[in-house]
Structure 1
Amino acid sequence: MKIWTKLMFHGGIALPITYLDQIDHYIQFLHVQRKSHSIDFHLHQGCEIYFLLQGDVKYFVEKTVYPLQFGDLIITNQHEIHKPSFSSDVVYERITIEFDPLIAAQYQTEDFNPLSCFYDRPIGTRNKLSLTSNDSAALLSLFMKYDALKNHPSLGNAVMKMGCFMEIMVHINRLFQEQKITDQGLDLHHKLSPVLDYIEMHLGEDLSLDQLEKQFFINKYYLIKLFKKYTGNTIHEYIIYKRISLAKKLLAEGSSVTEACMISGFNDYTSFLRMFKKKVGILPRDYQKNYLG
């Protein structure tokens, strides 16, 4: 049976809650082990939990770089640009859970909001949770339980997976509340930080390399090299994702597709549609329809 409810979430919009028997569509669990490889900036349609098992990894979220070790968690929502980068080619192993926030929001109570650690903080802050050995072991046990339920389904499997997922969410929120308010991240190069701040504040304006060169009196080729060194990607790709992130936010708030296109700095409507579909997976109008219901 499809459950419907009104949620005080993103402006209190009435939104549908998903079918429990389609849980694998709304909660995507991945346990991956492979050689280190290049990964581009990206955004998800929902939230992500990232748990590092092994690898020489630094994790970039918005304007912060987090050095990671076994047992560290990274949490992001659909508006936060992120990517891992690798300092060597050692084996890379991680667990991720990508999920639709609505499936967690239906379990909100008066004293607990499972989405608090994902949204009750400024964008691009407090993304890293450093765990004690006991907390890492407890969380890893829950991840392995979910993995087993996914790979060996039996009677009541969807209910069991949902219960395990919510136990993970409670655990992560508790860890988030207990940790000190610190980013625990590395500062970017002193010449990059003001550039990224400027990009954040001027997404609807000219952000060409020539304009950034004039604004910051920095050679554009040196800027390209510097950004690539510290993030592993191009500054052009970063700007595109920042604009896509802003467009998603505007669409979620009810702006028209044309307004989202222009305000976020995509001056060509056709290019905006193509780029949004490429990066998000669906067209802007479909994204808005799915979001607002």
Structure 2
Amino acid sequence: MKYSQMKRFLMEHKDSMKPPYISTLDGILTAGGELIGYQELEMDSPYLDVHEDTSYTKDYVTLHSHEFYELLFCRSGNLQYLIGNTRYQIRKNDIILVPPGTSHRPLFLEQLREPYQRTVLWINNDFFETCKQNFFADTGSSQYAPQKQLPYVIRPEGTLLNQIDQLLAALLYEGSTMRLGSELYRMGLFLQLFCLFYRMNDHPQSDIPKPENTGLLDQILNYIELHLSEDLSLASISAQFMVSQSTVSQLFKKQLDTSFYKIVTQRRLIESKNLINSGFPLKEVAEQCGFCDYSVFYKAFVKEYGISPRSFRTREKETHDFY
């Protein structure tokens, strides 16, 4: 389902659906039993989409990934954000850039004193990579483009912050009007943003937030990331880090508000999407992601994303072929 279709669905059913029907980012469960999964939402545009979003203290956002770049301009909120296996402390006006296939989620929404508001850009992966190649070709450094990665979190200030804010406001306006040439105009605005980000990266005019200090949770998350194909049970993790199983279980519940096994399954499924997109056979994907057999992987994938692994592969191939 595309983002615009989900918004239309909510508008049409807002009077008949009782809160908290939108309380989690697992999706919206309709009266007919259909699960509209947020992390499987598709872009409306083949290039970039822009919208505004707000999360409240009652909301719960699961660990998820997208098949496109997601840029978040945080307009409020003082929260932590988990990107991959690294936690960052996020402030107002921070910019979060999440590459395709990278797991992420905000943490501790229930502790916020105000709603978490952000401007959201979704950027097609192929379009983003084309922008990158053209940017470095123009600067005479195209051979380094694949290695030039933007940081996950940027903290712009002063004039630079004002420039970014104005460009995002223009993007939102164009997205709401859809006038003649609006798509091309929005692409031009994004190209200005893109150049600003990479200029900042080469000649920092902003603070680059550092990851939070590494603790037991971060060590376990990093271990999970590096051993997805292996046995990842409470018993094996507690033995690896020489702590009790209850310590591990309580740590995940307290810090991530979810279970250890839920995080492991979500990380495996996110990695499975990356492998599918890379062309791996489906049975091999299941093995490399630590599922005991294909049927277990299939059921977990359908439950999480509402689509079979084979259908997901077909859909993503059609998206890339279109671009």
Per the normalisation by structure 1, the TM-score is: 0.80
User: 1:187 and 2:213 equivalent?
Assistant: yes
Q: Which residue of 1 aligns with 2:296?
A: 271
Displacement, 1:280? 4.8
Say which structure, 1 or 2, has more relative contact order (CA 8 Å, 6+ apart).
Answer: 1
Secondary structure, aligned partner of 1:54: coil
Letter aligned with residue 235 of structure 1: F
Cα 1:203–1:251 change in 2 (3 A) is: same
**Equivalent runs, 1:249-288 vs 2, <5 Å:** 249-280=274-305, 282-288=307-313
**Equivalent runs, 1:86-101 vs 2, <5 Å:** 86=109, 87-101=111-125
Q: Which residue of 1 aligns with 2:56?
A: 35
Distance across 2 between alignment mates of 1:92 and 1:47? 20
Deviations 1:235-288 (A, max 9, x none): 222212321232233223321011011111122322322333444564333443
Cα 1:174–1:281 change in 2 (3 A) is: farther
Secondary structure, aligned partner of 2:193: helix
Cα 1:165–1:132 change in 2 (3 A) is: same
Displacement, 1:227? 2.4
Secondary structure, aligned partner of 1:24: coil
**Equivalent runs, 1:31-180 vs 2, <5 Å:** 31-36=52-57, 37-85=59-107, 86=109, 87-107=111-131, 108-109=133-134, 110-111=137-138, 120-121=148-149, 126-179=151-204
Is there any run of 5+ residues in structure 2 with no aligned partner, and where? 1-42
Cα 1:93–1:197 change in 2 (3 A) is: closer
Distance across 1 between alignment mates of 2:76 and 2:281? 44
Distance across 2 between alignment mates of 1:163 and 1:128? 23
Contact 1:63 1:188 in 2 (8 A): no
Q: Which moved further from structure 2: 243-252 or 145-154?
A: 243-252
Paired residues, number = 267
Distance across 2 between alignment mates of 1:183 and 1:161? 28
Cα 1:130–1:204 change in 2 (3 A) is: same
Contact 1:126 1:183 in 2 (8 A): no
Contact 1:41 1:81 in 2 (8 A): yes
Is there any run of 5+ residues in structure 1 with no aligned partner, and where? 1-21
Cα 1:226–1:39 change in 2 (3 A) is: same
Cα 1:62–1:119 change in 2 (3 A) is: farther
Distance across 1 between alignment mates of 2:255 and 2:298? 30
Letter aligned with residue 284 of structure 1: P
Per the normalisation by structure 2, the TM-score is: 0.73
TM-align CA RMSD: 2.9
